[in-house]
């Protein structure tokens, strides 16, 4: 197990290097720079500024300098928020994004597994039909439609939940309700569909019949035997799911005006704030790689047929 | 008494007999048309496509980019034929929604074709060559699979400006991974199938094996996946538009309309509701058709 984790971490390093390199050089190819203002500044000041941030160097040298800083945990200064480091900005935004994302994932996994299992156990009944219709709604209504509509109906018309900002002191935890629901909904739907399909397959298998035949109670068969095998496909979906939640959070943070990390990203890219863009990419890429690793480990724990120790 | 059949007639009879047999695809078609949700979806989607084409041709009384300064944010009304109202700049919402629907559908189809080309080539090569090449190629797909691609697409859009062709290519280029996996899996599985071996043993030509056995078997999952891919691509495009990176004004897409509608929703809720409902209906139809096709072609789970 340890060797497996080590091997995966070693693969992760070149992966991150490639990701950062691609993002870095793509940003550099983009026309314009961080100091292109509407009113052009004098050439001398511009050059001084570029030199100050090392932007007058050849691009490959800039990349090496950036990576050297990154290894020491230095994300560099933001080029647009002049009094702040990228690390500070990420430190402000990341907790918000993580909280919303983690809550959404939790809701999605718990509700999705539950609904999918119910649908499978009551296959072709009205309960199954209801769950599958709900799942169809979930996959067909993206966060960017659901978010504004929920905000309009529950927030503006009915005034049940606050719709914007993250004002805990004024509204308490209810500010989280709409963003988390919106972000979780597509994932609940996808997980419920996956769970239903795999559960149906499992409860038709021979060892479940054996378990029933030897007289185990229905609940013991489901909980001890069927569920454990049926969640396996879900575990391998966790990696892609976390990537999807992260992309979704870009929209959510805009719809509900949350001060998260995704909210910076688009503006930073448009304004050529190279270091901030890179910082967000690095943090999210690392996060996703780690989550994938965790998913693989859970998979190996749940599935005795997979061994990573060889 | 035996009747003597001349070779020509015999061939004719044989081909007739072949036609009478029900192929895999006949079965699939019958199953598909029994699925009420899928059929209804096809009809609604057909209507939407026709409307979108009419919208592109500009047959409606209002153009999508004509600004009526005296009719800003009008709710749906018969007056002046603003059946779905006007937006905050005084443009006819019906005309804009139809144009947006057309753009979204077009992006969906073109980007799906791009992803189809890349994915099928990649998967077929990996599955066919096998061995170390296969492992390397699929490991690469695995790594790409779990990356937040949207970040790269956003950077791409920023780098090359908001070009509609770039949107096609960028989305297609990031959505080919699942296609590659499916095609590779199918190719691998088919290579070892008994009926392929049997055909080889019976002396069927390589081309005939490919045409009669390989293509139909790979095609099923690919067709299903393509149908389910289109809504994903439409979503990706609207996602970019929502962030302000998609098509540019005055041209529009459903995502862009939803985005502006969301900003004006407290004053003019119809500017949000109309494009949002249009998008929902489109995605519903595409998903139902995709699910119907899957059940029809591969009825394992029913």
The ipTM is 0.74
Contact B147 A147 (CB under 8 A): no
| Max mean pLDDT range (B39-43, B132-136, B170-174) | B39-43
Distance from the B265 Cα atom to the nearest Cα atom in chain A, whole angstroms: 7
Model pTM above 0.90: no
Q: Give chain B's radius of gyration (CA, Å).
A: 24
- Find out whether B84 and B40 touch, Cβ atoms under 8 Å: no
**Which one has a higher pLDDT value, B40 or A27?**
B40
Residue A302 has pLDDT above 90, yes or no: no
Task: Give dist(CA B218, CA B206) in Å, integer.
Answer: 16
What pLDDT does residue B20 have? 60
Sign of CA dihedral A125, A130, A131, A132: positive
pLDDT of residue A218: 82
Preferred mutation among A142, A193, A197, A261 to probe B, highest tally of B CBs within 10 A:
A142
Helix extents (H) in A204-257:
206-213, 218-220, 227-230, 232-255
Is residue B254 predicted with pLDDT exceeding 60? yes
Contact A121, A204 (CB under 8 A): no
- When CB atoms are compared, the residue of B148, B159, B262 closest to A285 is B148
Q: Which residue of A has its CA nearest to B255?
A: A144
Shortest distance, CA B20 to any CA of chain A (angstroms):
34
Interface of B with A (CB under 8 A): 143, 145-152, 154-156, 158-159, 231, 235, 238-239, 242-245, 255, 258-259, 261-262, 265-266, 269, 272-273, 276, 279-280, 283-284, 287-288, 291, 301
- Give the confidence band of A170 by pLDDT, cuts at 50, 70, 90: low
Q: Point out the least confidently predicted range of A158-172, A189-203, B257-271.
A: A158-172
Q: Are B213 and B275 in contact (CB under 8 A)?
A: no
Which of B155, B175, B234 to mutate to test binding with chain A, by most A CBs within 10 Å of its CB? B155
Phi, psi angles (nearest 5°) of residue B92:
-70, 125
Residues B292, B224: Cα–Cα separation, whole Å = 9
CA distances to A3, B120, B181, B226, B289 from B294, rounded to whole Å, are 41, 18, 17, 11, 9
Binned at pLDDT 50, 70 and 90, residue A306 comes out as low
**CB A226 within 8 Å of CB A203:** yes
pLDDT for the residue numbered A310: 45
Chain A residues whose CB is inside 8 A of the B159 CB are 26-27, 29-31
The size of the A-B interface in CB pairs under 8 A is 113
Q: What pLDDT sits at residue B296? A: 83
- In B130-204, which residue ranges form alpha helices assigned H by DSSP? 131-145, 149-160, 164-174, 177-191, 194-201
Which one of A242, A251, A269 has the shortest CB-CB distance to B158? A269
The residue in chain B having the minimum alpha-carbon distance to the alpha carbon of residue A15 is B143
Handedness of CA A27, A28, A29, A33 (dihedral sign): positive
Band of residue B8 on the pLDDT scale cut at 50, 70, 90: low
Question: Tell me: the pLDDT tens digits for A223-267?
Answer: 888 888 888 888 878 877 888 888 888 888 888 888 888 777 888
- Would you place residue A169 in the very low, low, confident or very high pLDDT band (cuts 50, 70, 90)? low
CB-CB neighbors (< 8 A) of B245 in chain A: 266
pLDDT of the residue at A192: 92
Average pLDDT over residues A63-71: 82
* The residue to which tokens 């995709």 are assigned: B290
pLDDT at B9 (0 to 100): 67
Choose the closest CB to A140 out of B151, B261, B284.
Answer: B284
Which pLDDT score is estimated for A115? 93
Residue A64 scores a pLDDT above 50:
yes
Letter string b/e over residues B239-265, b meaning 16 or more CB atoms within 10 A of that residue's CB:
bbbbbebbbeeeebbbbbbbbbbbebb
Given pLDDT bands bounded at 50, 70 and 90, which one contains residue B162? Answer: low
Closest approach of B5 to chain A, Cα-based (Å): 52
Q: Name B92's bridge partners.
A: B86
State percent of chain A over pLDDT 90. Answer: 7
Question: Which band of pLDDT confidence, cut at 50, 70 and 90, is reported for residue A157?
Answer: confident
Cβ distance B148 to A26 less than 8 Å, yes or no, reads: no
Position A184 scores a pLDDT of 92
Model confidence over A79-117: pLDDT tens digits? 777 777 888 888 888 888 888 899 999 999 999 999 999
The band of B300, judged by pLDDT with boundaries at 50, 70 and 90, is low
Mean pLDDT within B254-267:
83
CB < 8 Å to A22, chain B: 152
Average pLDDT, chain B: 79
Long-range Cβ contacts of A160-168 (<8 Å, 24+ apart) = A163/A256, A164/A256, A164/A257, A165/A256, A165/A257, A165/A258, A166/A96, A166/A258, A166/A259
Cβ contact (<8 Å) for A141 and B283? yes
pLDDT at B76: 76
* pLDDT classification of B18: cutoffs 50, 70, 90: low
Is residue B282 exposed (0-12), middle (13-18) or buried (19+ Cβ within 10 Å)?
Answer: buried
């Amino acid at each position: 197990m340890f060797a497996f984790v080590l091997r995966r971490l070693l693969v992760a390093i070149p992966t991150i290097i490639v990701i950062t390199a691609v993002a870095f050089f793509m940003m550099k190819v983009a026309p314009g720079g961080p100091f292109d203002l509407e009113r052009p500044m004098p050439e001398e000041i511009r050059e001084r500024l570029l030199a100050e941030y090392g932007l007058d160097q050849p691009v490959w040298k800039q990349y090496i300098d950036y990576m050297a800083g990154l290894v020491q945990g230095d994300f560099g200064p933001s080029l647009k928020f002049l009094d702040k480091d990228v690390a500070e900005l990420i430190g402000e935004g990341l907790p918000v994004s993580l909280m919303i994302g983690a809550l959404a994932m939790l809701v999605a996994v718990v509700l999705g597994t539950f609904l999918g299992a119910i649908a499978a156990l009551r296959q072709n009944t009205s309960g199954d039909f209801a769950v599958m219709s709900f799942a169809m709604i979930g996959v067909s209504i993206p966060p960017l439609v659901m978010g504004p509509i929920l905000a309009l109906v529950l927030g503006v018309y009915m005034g049940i939940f606050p719709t914007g900002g993250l004002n805990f002191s004024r509204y308490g935890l209810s500010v989280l309700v709409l963003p988390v629901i919106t972000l979780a909904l597509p994932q609940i739907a996808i997980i419920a569909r996956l769970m239903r399909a795999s559960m149906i397959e499992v409860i038709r298998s021979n060892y479940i019949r054996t378990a029933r035949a030897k007289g185990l109670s229905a609940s013991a068969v489901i909980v001890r035997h069927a569920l454990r095998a049926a969640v396996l496909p879900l575990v391998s979906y966790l990696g892609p799911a976390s990537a999807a939640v992260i992309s979704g959070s870009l929209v959510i943070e805009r719809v509900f005006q949350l001060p998260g990390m995704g909210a910076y990203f688009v503006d930073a890219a448009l304004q050529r704030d190279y270091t901030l863009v890179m910082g967000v990419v690095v943090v999210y890429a690392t996060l996703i790689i780690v989550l994938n690793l965790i998913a693989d480990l859970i998979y190996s724990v749940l599935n005795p047929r997979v061994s990573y120790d060889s | 008494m035996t009747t003597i059949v001349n070779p020509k007639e015999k061939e004719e009879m044989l081909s007739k007999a072949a036609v009478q047999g029900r192929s895999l695809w006949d079965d699939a078609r019958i199953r598909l048309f029994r699925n009420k949700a899928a059929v209804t979806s096809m009809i609604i989607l057909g209507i939407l496509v026709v409307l979108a084409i009419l919208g592109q041709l500009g047959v409606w009384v209002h153009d999508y980019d004509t600004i009526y300064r005296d009719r800003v944010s009008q709710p749906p009304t018969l007056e002046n034929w603003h059946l779905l109202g006007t937006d905050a700049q005084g443009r006819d919402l019906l005309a804009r929604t139809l144009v947006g629907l057309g753009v979204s559908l077009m992006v969906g189809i073109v980007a799906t074709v791009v992803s189809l080309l890349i994915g099928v080539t990649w998967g077929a090569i990996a599955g066919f060559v096998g061995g170390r090449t296969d492992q390397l190629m699929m490991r690469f797909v695995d790594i790409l699979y779990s990356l937040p691609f949207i970040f790269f697409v956003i950077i791409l859009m920023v780098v090359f400006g908001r070009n509609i062709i770039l949107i096609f290519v960028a989305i297609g280029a990031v959505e080919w991974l699942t296609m590659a996996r499916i095609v590779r899996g199918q190719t691998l599985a088919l290579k070892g199938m008994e009926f392929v071996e049997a055909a080889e043993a019976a002396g069927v030509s390589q081309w005939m094996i490919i045409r009669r056995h390989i293509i139909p078997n790979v095609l099923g999952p690919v067709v299903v996946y393509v149908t389910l891919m289109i809504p994903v691509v439409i979503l990706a495009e609207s996602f970019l538009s929502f962030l302000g990176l998609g098509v540019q004004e005055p041209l529009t897409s459903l995502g862009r309309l939803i985005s502006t509608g969301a900003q004006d929703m407290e004053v003019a809720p119809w500017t949000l509701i109309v494009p949002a409902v249009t998008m929902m209906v489109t995605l519903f139809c595409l998903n139902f058709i995709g699910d119907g096709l899957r059940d029809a072609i591969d009825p394992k789970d029913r």
